Amino acid sequence: MLCTFIWGSDIMKRKEECGRGEYMENIQNENFYNKVIELFQNAKKNLSAAVNMTMVYSYYEAGRMIVEEEQGGKERAAYGKYILKELSQRLTQKFGRGYSYDNLKLMRKFYLVYSKDSIGETPFPQSEKLPVTQEGRKFYLSWSHYLILMRINNIEERHFYEIEAYRNGWSKDELARQYGSSLYERLALSRNKEEVMRLAIEGQMLEKPEDIFKDPYILEFTGLPEMVTYSETELENRIIDNLQKFLLELGRGFTFVGRQVRFTFEEEHFRVDLVFYNRLLRCFVLFDLKIGQLKHQDIGQMQMYVNYYDRKVKLEDENSTIGIIICKDKKDAIVEMTLPKDNNQIFASKYETVLPSKEELQTLLEDKNLK
């Protein structure tokens, strides 16, 4: 008997029309088809990535050839402009779009920036088979990524974003967002000089509770105004509505557990605004949201939440719970006085609903380095 293969709500009808043997055979056939389709989908994806990577190396070599040709000209500025325009016309006639005068200038800049920019391979052990330029440089990202990275003058900062983009699989837009939110400066502000240097060599390493902490957190994706005209519930709702973007802001290793997670102690009910788990640090991370200025009572409340999770929720082989209070404003002296000197579990950070000024953060970082 022929059997029509139908998905969805008609599965039970199909079972009745077909014998069990035919039904299982069709299921197996469908699994086979899906596996073959997936094979070619992955092949196309990998081919696209390989083509993109090949073009990055080609753009670098084109940049080298342009610079070397310019250096052989008698009047460098005029000659360089001439050869770029002529080269653009010839490449466009031969290959079509993508070889404009401006794009060739970017290839030239790409070579000038990265021919003198070496980066260690410690963060990239899985990329041993990548080609190497004459200067010993490897490239790990797409051309679109490097167009963003080339704008960064600080070489340590540029290395940090390259490492993090590769390690975390950031898209071009995600890289642009992290750079625009001044992630490097925000991490550097909470670290000493040695730890800042590690950011440029290894990226953001998660080894201790302090490593996941940022100050401030940037929540521009919520679309909320800079002036507080909203409730804590509205702030929480906007974060949940943009959970993927909040996870990007939090960094590596975070998994969402729940919101308004309730627990009962001594016949009283308590709720934690947001609960996450960090698989790299192997611990729960609790977030409490405050739209006003932080009070010492808020810190005491978070301490109780953390104690409860440590004593009642976490497993024996898991690490101590971390509590982070995200507030609109805080006084560091109150935070320091409320918490013990050896504190490494409770943190308080400001949040901003607009992207910060990189200049202001860089000034703060320079002032910190002078101290």
Q: In sequence order, what E strands does 158-253 have?
A: 217-218
Contact 1, 22 (CB under 8 A): yes
**What H or E segment, with its residue span, contains residue 271?**
strand 268-278
- Domains of the chain with CATH codes: 1-116 (no CATH), 217-355 (3.40.1350.10)
Determine phi and psi for 128, rounding to 5 degrees.
Answer: -65, -30
Q: In terms of residues, how long is the chain?
A: 371
Spatial CA neighbour of 112 closest among 81, 55, 70, 72:
70
pLDDT by position in tens, the chain (length 371): 444 444 444 444 444 444 555 545 555 566 655 665 666 666 666 566 667 888 899 999 999 888 888 776 444 556 667 788 888 888 898 888 888 999 999 999 999 999 888 775 555 666 677 788 888 888 989 999 999 999 999 999 999 999 999 989 899 999 999 999 999 988 888 777 788 888 888 888 888 999 999 988 999 999 999 888 999 999 999 999 999 999 999 999 999 999 999 999 888 999 999 999 999 999 999 999 999 999 999 999 999 999 999 999 999 999 999 999 999 999 989 898 899 888 999 999 999 998 878 777 777 777 666 55
